[in-house]
Amino acid sequence: MSAVSDLIREEIALQLSQVAAFAAAGSAQAQVGNDHALAFEVRCAAASLMAVAGLVEHLRPSRQQGERAA
């Protein structure tokens, strides 16, 4: 494992923790009926998850031309 890959994994772990926190906050807002805050938490969770998806691409081995992504 390279040091760069380790740093990327560390950042992914942090980002996924944020996703979980936003999801938990969104769940709490849904339970109390605060739709405005719920929508905010969902958007934040989605943005964090998209950031993680981009980081994961840096850990994938490069694909040969014509190969499909998993």
Report how far residue 20's alpha carbon sits from residue 68's, in angstroms, rounded to the nearest whole number: 30
> Could you give the dihedral angle defined by the CA atoms of residues 56, 59, 61 and 65, in that order, rounded to the nearest 10 degrees?
40
Per-residue pLDDT of the chain (70 residues), as tens digits, is 688 899 999 999 999 999 999 999 999 999 999 999 999 999 999 999 999 999 999 888 765 555 555 5
Taking the C-alpha atoms of residue 17 and residue 13, their distance in angstroms, rounded to an integer, is: 6
* Model pLDDT for residues 18-31, shown as the tens digit of each residue: 999 999 999 999 99
